[in-house]
Amino acid sequence: MTMLEITDELLARHKLTRAEYAEIERILGRPPNLVELGIFSVMWSEHCSYKSSKIHLKKLPTEAPWVVCGPGENAGVVDIGDGLVAVFKMESHNHPSFIEPYQGAATGVGGILRDVFTMGARPVALLDALRFGDPKAPRMRHLVAGVVAGIGGYGNCVGVPTVGGECTFHPAYDGNILVNVMCVGVARADRVFYARAAGVNNPVVYMGAKTGRDGIHGATMASAEFSEADGSLRPTVQVGDPFTEKLLIEACLELMETGCIVAIQDMGAAGLTSSSFEMAARGGTGIELDLDAVPLRETGMSAYEIMLSESQERMLLVLECGREAEAEAIVRKWGLDVAVVGRVTDSGRMVIRHRGEVVADLPVAPVSGASPVYERPFERTPRPLPLVAEALGGPVDARSALLRLLGSPDLSSKRWIFEQYDWLVGCDTILPPGLGAAVVRVHGTKKALALTTDCTPRYCRADPREGGRQAVAEAWRNLVAVGARPLAITDCLNFGNPERPAIMGQLVDCIEGMAEACRALDFPVVSGNVSLYNETDGRAILPTPQVGGLGLIEDVARLVRPDAARAGDRLVLLGESTGWLGASLYLREILGREDGAPPPVDLALERRNGELVARLLAAGAVRACHDLADGGLAVAVAELCLAANVGAVLEPAPADASEAGWLFGEDQGRWLLAVPPARLPELLAAATASGVLARPVGTLGGDALTLGRHPPISLEELRSVREGWLPAWMDGTA
C-alpha cells in the first residue's frame, strides 16, 4: 500500500476533521491509504453515521407489542395480523433534487423502494412530502416540474402506486427544497429478511445494475451545506433506471421464495462500502471482497471508485453456500447481472482485493459502529409569546379570506401533481390522493393500510417542541379519521447545519416533542432518516420533522370515507376552540404575519378526543370525518363540502368568540364530523359522557357554503379557486 500524504485539502474533500482523522490512525495503528480514507469518509458521514443526532434519536420510543422490528434495519416492520407485516420507511433526497430535480427525486424513490423490498416485502404504496420555496423564486417552477416528473417517472414504471403526500411552499426552502419519500410494503411475517451476514464461507453476491462512476461521494455531499455555485456538483447525482429496479424487485422476491438468501442489503448511499460493512457489522462477521468480480459499466475504474460508487439498482446478498447456481438462474431470467464478489469470514475484518493486491484491510466494527458521536452544543428556541387576540383587530371579510386560503399555494389542490402519478396500479387503492389519509387494501384480504405524511414547519420554527408534538398528533388524527387504528410512524428529520447551536436546538426540541407525542398516543417510531445541513449560503430551512404514519383497517367495510357526507347531515365540531391564531395559516396568508406561539398540543386531550372519535366511527354514528388543521374550521368545512359535492350552512361564531378565531383558528385536537340527524342525540350524549365538548355547528345541503351571516359561496367557485392556483402557476399565468 502506498503512503498517503494527509493534507488539509485531502481531509476537507473527504469531509473529515483533523480529530476524526487522528481517531482513524488510532484505530488502524497506521495511516490509511486512499481507499480506506474514502471508506471512513462515507461511513462516518453524517448521512451514514447519524453522528450529530444519535444521542437524541435514542429519546424516541420504538417499541409496542405490534412492532416486529424498529430502527436499525433497512425499514421498520409492524404486525398487521393474519401472518402479515407492513414494512415501511421514509427517506430524504433533498440535496440531489435541488441540483438535478428529475434524477434526484427519481433516485430517491428508487432508494426507498429498495429499503422495503430488501426486507422481503412487496412495495404497495409510495407517498411524497415535498417542500418548495417561494413560488416567485428563480428555478422554482422548474424544480416542481422536475421533482414531480421524476417521482412519477420512477414510481409509475416500477408499478407501485403513489397514493398520497403533501406539497407546501415557503421562502425558507428557496435554496434547499425537501423531497421526502415514504414507501410501504407488505410481507409474510415468517419471511422477513435482515441484513446480517452470517455463515463462514457463504458467498457474497452482487446483483442488479453494473457499477459506474456516478454518485461518488453522494453521502458526503448530503452531509454538507450548499453554496449557490454547487451546480458543479451535478456529477455526484446518480441516474436512476426504474426498469432495472422493477426487474430487481421481481428477482429479489422470487429469490426470497427459494430460501437461499441468508442476508440482503441494497447498495444505497455509499454503495458497496456501506452495504458490505453494515451486513458484516450486524452479523458480527468479516467479509473478503474481490473487486475484480464486480460487474462494471466502464473500464479502468479504481478500487476507490468501485467502493464509493452510488450507481443505482444494485443489491448485495449473502447466499447459502452451494446455492449459487440456483440463484444465478433466477437473476439471469430477469436479465440482471449477478456475480459472486466475496465470502463471509469470521475475522471481523473487511479485506478488499483488486488486481491481485489487498487495497484495504479494515476492522469492521470500528468503521461501522464506532463512528464519532457528537454531543453538539445546542440552544433551545426561546418560546414565543401567544398573540393577543385584540392585536389582530378589525372585522373579517370571512368570504374572501376563505377563498384566499383555499387558493393559497399550501391549501390549493395538488391534482396537477397527483395526476402525474399512477395512483391506481395494483388495483388496491381505495381512497385516492387529495382527500386525507390514503387507503390501500392489503392485496387479497379484507384489510387495508391507512397512510399519511404530516408536518407543519411554521409551528416547528415558532416552537420546535410543540411543532414536533403536532406533527405526530396530526398524523395520528388523519389515520383515526378514516377509521384506522394508528400503529407506528417513520420520520424524516430535515434540519439545517447542526454545528450551529440554534439549529441543533431545533433538532433536539423537535425530537423531544415527537417523543412525548409518540408515547402519549402509543405510536412508536420504527424507522427513519435524518437530513442535516439543509442550508444554502447560511440560510437554513424551516425545521421540518416530517412524519409518515401507518394505520390498520381490519375490514375495508369499516372504512369511513371523507367524501361520504350527504345533504341533511349535521356538522358537529368536536374539541375545544379558543380561536388560536398564532402561527396560523390565516395569519400568514391574510394578515402577512408569521409570529406568535403555535397552538399548544394537549396530548391527554388529544388522545381522549381521538379515542372518542374512533368509537363513534366504529359505531357507525358518523358519515364522514375530517380533522381540523391548516385554516381551521372554515377550511375543514369547505374541504368536506368539496369532497362530498354538497353545500353547507355554518352557524355564526358564538357571541363570545372573535369571528376570525372561530373560523380560522387552529386549536389542536379538534374534529369535524358529518352526522346523520338520527344519530346526533346519541353522539352528543357519548361526547358528554366522555367529557368532550361537541357542538352542532351547521347542516349540509344545497350547492353553496354559507359562513354565518356572510353571503354564500357556490361550490363551483370554491372548487375553481382551490383547483386553480397550481396549474395556473405552472403555466406561468398565476
Partner 1 sequence: MRAAVITFPGSNCDRDLAVAMETCFGRPVARVWHADSELPPVDLVGLPGGFSWGDYLRSGAIAARAPIMAAVRRHAERGGYVLGICNGFQILTEAGLLPGALIRNAGLRFVCRPVRLSVVNRNTPFTAAYGAEPITIPVAHHDGNYVIDPEGLARLEGEGRIAFRYLDNPNGSTADIAGVLDARGRVLGLMPHPERAVEPLLGGVDGRPLFASLLSAIDGGGRP
Number of residues that bind partner 1 (CB under 8 A): 31
The only residue of 241, 454, 516, 659 in contact with partner 1, by rule CB under 8 A:
241
154 part of the interface to partner 1, by CB under 8 A? no
Please identify, using beta-carbon distances, which residue of 246 and 282 lies nearer to partner 1: 246
DSSP 653: P
The Cα–Cα gap between 154 and 157 comes to 5
**Based on CB atoms, which residue is closest to partner 1, 27 or 157?**
157
Q: Is 156 in the site for partner 1 (CB under 8 A)?
A: yes
Q: Mask of contacts with partner 1, 537-576, x by CB under 8 A?
A: -------------------x--------------------
Q: Which is nearer to partner 1, 537 or 555 (CB)?
A: 555
Q: Minimum distance from CB of 419 to partner 1 (Å)?
A: 5
- The catalytic residues are 47, 93
Does 419 participate in binding partner 1 (rule CB under 8 A)?
A: yes
Report the nearest approach of partner 1 to the CB of residue 46 (Å).
Answer: 34
CA dist 539 and 52 (Å) reads 19
Q: Are 286 and 345 in contact (CB under 8 A)?
A: yes
Contacting range for partner 1; rule: CB under 8 A; set: 156-164, 198-206, 616-624, 697-705: 156-164
Task: Report the 10 Å Cβ neighbour count for 389.
Answer: 17
Applying CB under 8 A, which of residues 13, 55, 292, 420 lies at the interface with partner 1?
Answer: 420
Stretch that binds partner 1, among 145-153, 176-184, 522-530, 602-610 (CB under 8 A): 145-153
Phi, psi (rounded to 5 degrees) for 529: -155, 150
346 or 716: whose CB is closer to partner 1?
A: 716
Phi, psi of 458 (to 5 degrees): -70, -30
Residue 432 interacts with partner 1 (CB under 8 A): yes or no: yes
Contact with partner 1 (CB under 8 A): which of 247, 411, 613, 687? Answer: 247
Which residue number, 429 or 531, has a Cβ lying nearer to partner 1? Answer: 429
**Of all helices (H) and strands (E), which one includes residue 403?**
helix 398-406
Contact pick of 22, 200, 358, 424 for partner 1 (by CB under 8 A): 424
> What is the C-alpha separation between 380 and 383, in angstroms, rounded?
9
Using CB under 8 A, which of the segments 154-162, 395-403, 574-582, 659-667 binds partner 1?
154-162
* Residue 55 Cβ vs partner 1, minimum distance, rounded to whole Å: 43
* Residue whose C-alpha cell is 416552537: 463
Asked if 384 interacts with partner 1 (CB under 8 A), we say: no
In the structure, how many helices (H) and strands (E) does the chain have?
26, 28
Report the site for partner 1 in 394-413 (rule: CB under 8 A): none
C-alpha cell at 265: 442489503
Write down the least CB distance from residue 334 to partner 1, Å.
Answer: 7
Stretches 11-19, 90-98, 235-243, 345-353: which one binds partner 1 (CB under 8 A)? 235-243
How many C-beta atoms lie closer than 10 Å to residue 685's C-beta? 11
Write a three-state SS string for 137-187: CCCHHHHHHHHHHHHHHHHHHHCCCEEEEEEEECHHHCCCCEEEEEEEEEE
x/- track of binding to partner 1 for residues 436-475 (CB under 8 A): -----x----------------------------------
Shortest Cβ 185–partner 1 spacing (Å): 15
Q: Which stretch binds partner 1 (CB under 8 A): 146-154, 391-399, 534-542, 666-674?
A: 146-154
Whole-number minimum distance, CB 730 to partner 1, in Å? Answer: 10
Find the farthest-apart pair of alpha carbons in the chain and give their distance in angstroms, rounded.
85
Instruction: Kindly provide the b/e burial profile for residues 390-408, where b requires at least 16 CB atoms within 10 angstroms of the residue's own CB.
Output: eebeeebebbebbbebbbb
CB of 159 to partner 1, least distance (A): 3
Q: Which three cell numbers stand for residue 183?
A: 414507501
Contact flag: residue 727 with partner 1 (CB under 8 A):
no
**Which of 11, 137, 157, 370 is the binder for partner 1 (CB under 8 A)?**
157
- Give the nearer residue to partner 1 in terms of CB position, either 268 or 434: 434
DSSP of 332-378: HHTT-EEEEEEEEESSSEEEEEETTEEEEEEEHHHHHH---------
Query: How far apart are CB 435 and partner 1 at their closest, in Å?
Result: 12
Residue 680 φ then ψ, to 5°: -60, -50
- Cβ proximity of 622 and 616 under 8 Å: yes
- 208 contributes a contact to partner 1 by CB under 8 A: no
Does 158 bind partner 1 (CB under 8 A)? Our answer is yes
101 contacts partner 1 (rule: CB under 8 A):
no
Q: 3-state class of 453 per DSSP?
A: strand
Angle at 530 between CA 463 and CA 150, to 5 degrees: 110
Listed in sequence order, the residues at least 6 apart from 708 whose beta carbon sits closer than 8 Å to its beta carbon are 398, 650, 651, 652, 653, 659
Stretch that binds partner 1, among 7-15, 414-422, 648-656, 698-706 (CB under 8 A): 414-422
Residue in 573, 617, 580 with CA at minimum distance from that of residue 602:
580
Q: Given the complex with partner 1, which of 101 and 242 has the nearer CB atom?
A: 242
User: Is residue 153 part of the contact set for partner 1 (CB under 8 A)?
Assistant: yes
Q: Count of CB atoms within 10 A of residue 725's CB?
A: 20
Note whether 117 binds partner 1 by CB under 8 A. no
213: left (phi over 0), alpha (psi -120 to 50) or beta: alpha
Task: Confirm or reject binding of residue 334 to partner 1 (CB under 8 A).
Answer: yes
- Binders of partner 1 in range 3-22 (CB under 8 A): none
> 618 is written with which cell numbers?
366504529
Instruction: Pick between residue 194 and residue 729 the one whose CB is nearest to partner 1.
Output: 729
Contact flag: residue 335 with partner 1 (CB under 8 A):
yes
What are the backbone dihedrals phi and psi of residue 136, each rounded to the nearest 5 degrees, phi first? Answer: -85, -10
Q: Which letter does DSSP use for residue 226 in this model?
A: B
Smallest separation, CB 420 to partner 1 (Å): 5
User: Which residues of the chain form contacts with partner 1 (CB under 8 A)?
Assistant: 149, 152-153, 156-159, 241-244, 246-247, 334-335, 418-430, 432, 441, 556
